Structure 1
């Protein structure tokens, strides 16, 4: 039986939108919807350029447009080159600089446009915003990139977190195989346990009758250069509202953009941060695990509630930088949500009052046992110790979520993973008072392996008094020699409540989110006989394996 593939085709253009086929400089026509507010006179425009069908419920732009047009903005939504109703070659992360410039230029010549443009949107349509920044069109006055980054496409050289080599993100490869084949999207479920792993994708391409050029670049290890203009960091600064999710799978890369631009003259003055306790698909920590009536991907009332929270800050930002009807001082420079507590504001991030603390990994011999495992505390390990753990390609450590884009929808209990004998676990004592994490976190581990190349995955979990364990942060690294690995876990705003403990999990696989290591010099895509290996973690004065956290003073100190 061949693989079942569901083809997703364009939905109808809403009656309150007008579609235009907008010509790019090479003659390719891009399908572009326009929504205009009532009233007389030209107005500023909010532009989104995306590959997911501008008319689909998944991107719900008919409802988004209602919010922005009610605030006096025209809204333009475009299928990018090679997707849905637009012409051109289907290959993501290419051509967006020029197409962004040409689309903005077209907008400025329309009778409903006052010549001022802002951009808005998530993920890939955050990347198209950065591409438009690279184009340096003078009409682009502000952007609101959400849960995204300036880096390259998923799996094609990886999203750049600045953290060095990483295991290949298998979810990103699947995304390429489903979204970037042709104009449509092709949905299918793969058996990724088969060997070689590439064969599962070949079955999908055979069923579709076409290949994904982006996927083939991933397997070949060929990077793409996404900007044919300056990198956005080096482009003309425009005001940016970074909308970050503490639980977003691109959160580490997004916060790297924030941090890098904060160092750049010109950019630092026009950056704003909105950091919420959301995942990539805009599920909220306070609703997790999500009930059916709160699932905005399935329930229309939940979608309307979510859209108000989703568009409101962007409209306020555009009122300042597109319309000029509000002053910049009306916007908090940083607005962030402390998980389990609520919203706070600040002048900068990381917070000036936040302090760095280190928790040392100790008693590693206990780390392969059941929870509580080894110790995680402020006192350095007094003597050199080590512990081995295994990588078994036939018994891979399960990912924190089968789909990390939807991390908070199920917000899975990971206690069973903590109790596996092929992971290491280190825990703090139960908190006596609240501990507020507010800033970046890193795991610094001294590791070696019997394999020529190996992967290390780290998760920081909240271990509740009832034994449930839920993800707070995660990160990974790939190495080909023994030594110290510094693994970025991203930024967070999260309260560890009294009675709860932090648990640090260390593993050598994360399946199905990441491609399993071959354990040899063979490609993990094509190997049919991956090899098991043994990893060693070292602690003590000469090998100080530790967890580095940023915490608010006055909250409970880890012990």
Structure 2
């Protein structure tokens, strides 16, 4: 173990190692039925007999700092680790096409692994983000060949995440595209560094129009899968077929599965949808959701520690060593962990908070009154402040004062709550509005305002309006149903709930140009005037409130 490794395990608070001797075998070749060879490295603790095997499949390289330290950390705690690269990445043959080949290549890797003389019969899977997606792609067909799985901050399907509320998730997709190009040209270490620091060139390229040129602006070349994504946003687009989308089959996964996520993770809704599909099929996955972003050292350390509890319980047939309740949630605001039998916890009550004329927010419906108005200008788009982002520096819970002071953001605030109010579960908004043009976005954010007046974001969502899906009624009124990020949050006594409404959140989401032009080619920018009307409300799943 190197000095870096010692610092890594100390920073992540890992349990003691059982050995410091790890043997690394590089460039193992894994055949696939179509003739492509995948490459893998094997980490073995030679002093640990019959060590089970952790399979990690990744498009991010086998030998980046995080990959190496993760593999060594598992090996030092009694596991063999096979880290295999996805096709078209880090020396593996073929072409990398996101999400397309992960099921069949995962099965090929599993077939090969099971026939190796060093394999002792127990296969576990682990990894965050794309490394979690490949587990969900493999799980349905692998059956009981996998002893246990642990997908972290991930999802079996990405279509509804990339086009959340029919709006395009710009910041995450362009940053990820730039990372994959960096991996082609440079080292995994540089790509890891840019993910933590933020890629300035990619960030600046998010303002580029048309978006069909944003990949070239960010990376210096056109990227095929970026172009595909820009054109595949319609419902039912064949790009998002069953080869790429695996959520519908998540209920077929028989391996014990622990889904591990974060409230500020950009992929959280997909992961909770995976959980719901598995529960509907009669499975009992474990679920942990902490206060984390997608990129978080604290989150990754917690996931590694949890894996080192989850895996032995199933390898050794000792489920009693696991926690009693399968669902563990970090309740923000209360800043404490709680265990439940399921998600969402039973006993919640749907409670509507109605937007009032003049900027109030109350549990009673609004009386008729004047609408609240603002103008959205895509040439000066409402900026993203905090929330579920890939960039760990700019995402998460932030002070919203500057955002709420903008003329293109309207806010509605409740009176201070008399007793703590807990919202645990889904959050949604119904917004009645008029717009000066048929093409517009409705961005809704729920915030917590403390006794000193500081407003911090809790959760958010967006809905893109189009004339066919959101027609006007006889009075020119449209209805936007907005799904916000799920949450577990406690509004403390004396705090106020606040709802923000605006015409977008850029660059998290691609700005609505107001013209209805295709996402890839739109360049004309048109302002839109909004009227937010009485009859609008936000719905929380409140606990302990009648």
TM range (shorter): 0.7 to 0.9
In structure 2, relative to structure 1, the CA distance for the partners of 1:277 and 1:146 (3 Å cut) is same
User: Which residue of the partner structure matches residue 5 of structure 1?
Assistant: none
User: Which residue of the partner structure matches residue 549 of structure 1?
Assistant: 540
Choose which of 293, 316, 324 in structure 2 pairs with 1:279: 293
The 2-side partners of 1:329 and 1:195 are apart by: 51
Give 1:170 deviation, angstroms: 0.7
1:128-173 deviations in Å (ceiling 9; x for gaps): 0111013335412321111111113xxxx44279x7x421111243
1:157-210 deviations in Å (ceiling 9; x for gaps): 44279x7x42111124314531445734675333433433433433345x3xx4
CA RMSD of aligned residues (A): 2.7
1:30-54 deviations in Å (ceiling 9; x for gaps): 2212122343543322111111222
1:306-343 deviations in Å (ceiling 9; x for gaps): 65422121221212223324437645311111124311
User: Which residue of the partner structure matches residue 374 of structure 2?
Assistant: 389
Matches within 5 A, 1:63-74: 63-74=69-80
**DSSP-derived class of the 2:82 partner:** strand
User: Which residue of the partner structure matches residue 259 of structure 2?
Assistant: 242
User: Which residue of the partner structure matches residue 17 of structure 2?
Assistant: none
1:56-96 deviations in Å (ceiling 9; x for gaps): 13xx2333234433443221212211112322102111110
User: Which residue of the partner structure matches residue 338 of structure 1?
Assistant: 331
> 1:427 touches 1:501 (CA, 8 Å); kept in 2?
yes
- Is 1:62 aligned to 2:56, yes or no? no
**DSSP-derived class of the 1:404 partner:** coil
Choose which of 219, 240, 261 in structure 2 pairs with 1:224: 240
Choose which of 305, 315, 320 in structure 2 pairs with 1:312: 305
Choose which of 416, 432, 436 in structure 1 pairs with 2:418: 432
1:351-372 deviations in Å (ceiling 9; x for gaps): 1133221111111xx3xxxxxx
**DSSP-derived class of the 1:159 partner:** helix
- Is 1:168 aligned to 2:185, yes or no? no
The 2-side partners of 1:316 and 1:75 are apart by: 17
User: Which residue of the partner structure matches residue 344 of structure 2?
Assistant: 350
Give 1:412 deviation, angstroms: 2.9
Say which is worse superposed, 248-257 or 194-203, in terms of deviation.
Answer: 194-203
Say which is worse superposed, 108-117 or 36-45, in terms of deviation.
Answer: 36-45
> 2:231 touches 2:519 (CA, 8 Å); kept in 1?
no
> 1:438 touches 1:550 (CA, 8 Å); kept in 2?
yes
Give 1:276 deviation, angstroms: 0.8
In structure 2, relative to structure 1, the CA distance for the partners of 1:226 and 1:345 (3 Å cut) is same
User: Which residue of the partner structure matches residue 299 of structure 1?
Assistant: none
The 2-side partners of 1:330 and 1:495 are apart by: 24
Choose which of 410, 414, 430 in structure 2 pairs with 1:444: 430
In structure 2, relative to structure 1, the CA distance for the partners of 1:403 and 1:387 (3 Å cut) is closer
- Is 1:360 aligned to 2:345, yes or no? no
Choose which of 513, 527, 548 in structure 1 pairs with 2:508: 513
1:421-465 deviations in Å (ceiling 9; x for gaps): 112211111233322222211112123322222211111112223
User: Which residue of the partner structure matches residue 25 of structure 2?
Assistant: 18
Choose which of 264, 276, 284 in structure 2 pairs with 1:259: 276
> 2:41 touches 2:83 (CA, 8 Å); kept in 1?
yes
In structure 2, relative to structure 1, the CA distance for the partners of 1:220 and 1:183 (3 Å cut) is same
- Is 1:110 aligned to 2:116, yes or no? yes
The 1-side partners of 2:244 and 2:504 are apart by: 36
In structure 2, relative to structure 1, the CA distance for the partners of 1:149 and 1:24 (3 Å cut) is same
> 2:22 touches 2:44 (CA, 8 Å); kept in 1?
no
Give 1:534 deviation, angstroms: 1.6
Higher-helix-fraction structure: 2
In structure 2, relative to structure 1, the CA distance for the partners of 1:192 and 1:70 (3 Å cut) is closer
In structure 2, relative to structure 1, the CA distance for the partners of 1:533 and 1:121 (3 Å cut) is same
Unaligned 5+ residue runs, structure 1?
Answer: 1-13, 283-295, 297-304, 367-373
> 1:55 touches 1:61 (CA, 8 Å); kept in 2?
yes
> 2:23 touches 2:43 (CA, 8 Å); kept in 1?
yes
Give 1:228 deviation, angstroms: 7.2
User: Which residue of the partner structure matches residue 91 of structure 2?
Assistant: 85
Task: Give the TM-score taking structure 2 as reference length.
Answer: 0.83
The 2-side partners of 1:255 and 1:476 are apart by: 18
Choose which of 16, 29, 47 in structure 2 pairs with 1:39: 47
> 1:399 touches 1:513 (CA, 8 Å); kept in 2?
yes
**DSSP-derived class of the 1:202 partner:** helix
Task: Give the TM-score taking structure 1 as reference length.
Answer: 0.81
Unaligned 5+ residue runs, structure 2?
Answer: 1-20, 192-198, 473-477
> 2:327 touches 2:342 (CA, 8 Å); kept in 1?
yes
User: Which residue of the partner structure matches residue 364 of structure 2?
Assistant: 379
**DSSP-derived class of the 1:313 partner:** helix
